[in-house]
Amino acid sequence: MNIKYQVRELKNKIKVFEYRYRVNGRQTTKSFRAKSATKTAEKAAIKELENFAKEIEAKKTLGVAKDESSTKFSEYSELVFKIHDRNLSEQTKQNRQYYLSVINEYIGNVKLKNLTATRIESFLVKMSETKSDQVLSKYKQIINIVMDHAFSKDLIPINPMMKVRIKISQKNIKEVQPIDIKELEKYLEIARGNKKYYFTLLLMLYTGMRVGEALALQFDDWDFERNIIHITKNRKRNGKIGPVKKDRPRTFPIHEKLKELYDEVKTWHDYNKEILEDDYEDNNLFIAHEDGQFIPYSAFRQYLRRLDKTGIKIRPHQLRHTFATLFDDINLKDLQAMGGWKDVDTLINVYQAHKGYKTKTIKTLNEKFSNIKNGNESKSI
């Protein structure tokens, strides 16, 4: 089989071998770049090209070759993220699918070869009418991953995202801020009227737990012999129980406020059991509905949305930020262990804002440098 190909030489003397072929009347070019300028590397690239050419010809003979650039965005994105997200957590995958479902409503049926920068810009402009810059940034990221993958496979001549002119300023993407304590106290006073959510807020504040961790916590996780809480589970948005984020279980020391919370929650559950009798479903959950059933993440989030009417807006993850900020003067390794952060750098860079230098820091600087002679001590003024 005589295989014809074109050769291009780059500025660094490395050669690129291009094989052109037709599928369903459409010409496509597949490039094979030598890894270096050596003859061995060039032969390897040519060998790869020849194998590809034979595979294409075999598919054409069997009638199974197809123009993949005609694949719809929704179909191709499904394939891409099966590969791209294979090692990510289920929660991250679910979040991605949510954003992708919105994108697919608008451009899912568009073929890869027909998806232009103008079409993508139209989608983003439409979304900007109701969505925040943070959400728009997610949409751009997802579309870029899909189209960049298609470009790398030579399914499209250029990634159209390179020509998208809608820029999203990072300044407009709001960082999660800790909650003002005075406002939090007012908020908790209002929330007290709904015990189950009030308990959830306090548990998250007192421990820095994520929402899913708080909603999955069971009474058996409280170890009063060792005076710690075992945080090993996470309730996902679909209601199922899974491991904590990054599969890093941890413990948390039981302090006095947590003991008070435990007693109050236990009394509340005992009262509900007595009133509801057989209608109470004992799942051993620390945070639960009045009848003992688990609380979905969405229900807790909706409750917080309803409380927006108070004029104080709180989002679940803000409590975690608040916890980290409240205790920025304790040992960082202890704080990292309690909150389950990946490392101290993440804790400092993402969760702890710099609020000015502490008195202790200034005192330490004075002490450390007071005994170092700088050559000016003997000089008279």
Q: Do residues 287 and 340 both lie within one domain?
A: yes
Q: Do residues 141 and 208 both lie within one domain?
A: no
**Residue 230: its pLDDT value, please?**
94
Cα separation, 338 vs 249, whole angstroms: 10
**Residue 374: its pLDDT value, please?**
46
Q: What is the pLDDT of residues 145-186, one digit of tens each?
A: 999 988 887 778 889 999 998 876 555 445 567 778 888 888
Q: Does a structural domain hold residue 278?
A: yes
Q: Do residues 243 and 328 both lie within one domain?
A: yes
Count of structural domains within the chain = 3
Q: Does a structural domain hold residue 125?
A: yes
3-state secondary structure the chain: CCCCCEEEECCCCCEEEEEEEEECCEEEEEEEECCCCCHHHHHHHHHHHHHHHHHHHHHHHHCCCCCHHHCEHHHHHHHHHHHHCCCCCHHHHHHHHHHHHHHHHHHCCCEHHHCCHHHHHHHHHHHHCCCCHHHHHHHHHHHHHHHHHHHHCCCCCCCHHHHCCCCCCHHHCCCCCCCCHHHHHHHHHHHCCCHHHHHHHHHHHHHCCCHHHHHHCEHHHEECCCCEEEECEEECCCCCEEECHHHCCEEEECCHHHHHHHHHHHHHHHHHHHHHHHHCCCCCECCCCCCCCCCCHHHHHHHHHHHHHHCCCCCHHHHHHHHHHHCCCCCHHHHHHHHCCCCHHHHHHHHCCCCCCCHHHHHHHHHHHHCCCCCCCCCCC
**Residue 381: its pLDDT value, please?**
37
**Residue 20: its pLDDT value, please?**
85
Q: Do residues 193 and 210 both lie within one domain?
A: yes
**Residue 290: its pLDDT value, please?**
95
Q: Do residues 84 and 96 both lie within one domain?
A: yes
Q: Does a structural domain hold residue 312?
A: yes
**Residue 223: its pLDDT value, please?**
94
Q: Do residues 294 and 324 both lie within one domain?
A: yes
Residue segments in the chain with a per-residue pLDDT below the cut of 70: 1, 24-25, 61-69, 91, 168-176, 327-332, 341-381
Q: What is the pLDDT of residues 105-114, one digit of tens each?
A: 999 999 998 9
Q: Do residues 90 and 60 both lie within one domain?
A: no
Supply the CATH number for residue 323's domain: 1.10.443.10
Domain that holds residue 151: 69-172
Q: Rounded mean pLDDT of the chain?
A: 82
Cα separation, 335 vs 320, whole angstroms: 12
Q: Does a structural domain hold residue 368?
A: no
**Residue 173: its pLDDT value, please?**
47
Q: What is the pLDDT of residues 258-317, one digit of tens each?
A: 999 999 999 999 999 999 999 999 999 999 999 999 999 889 888 888 888 878 788 877
Cα separation, 178 vs 254, whole angstroms: 23
Q: Does a structural domain hold residue 162?
A: yes
Q: Does a structural domain hold residue 358?
A: no
Q: Does a structural domain hold residue 74?
A: yes
Q: Do residues 125 and 92 both lie within one domain?
A: yes
Supply the CATH number for residue 83's domain: 1.10.150.130
Q: Does a structural domain hold residue 317?
A: yes
**Alpha carbon of 13 to those of 7, 37, 198, 359: distances in Å?**
12, 6, 68, 61
- Global pTM value: 0.56
Cα separation, 347 vs 367, whole angstroms: 28
Cα separation, 115 vs 322, whole angstroms: 43
Q: Do residues 157 and 192 both lie within one domain?
A: no
Q: Do residues 135 and 260 both lie within one domain?
A: no
Q: Do residues 251 and 327 both lie within one domain?
A: yes
**Residue 349: its pLDDT value, please?**
54
Q: Do residues 89 and 60 both lie within one domain?
A: no
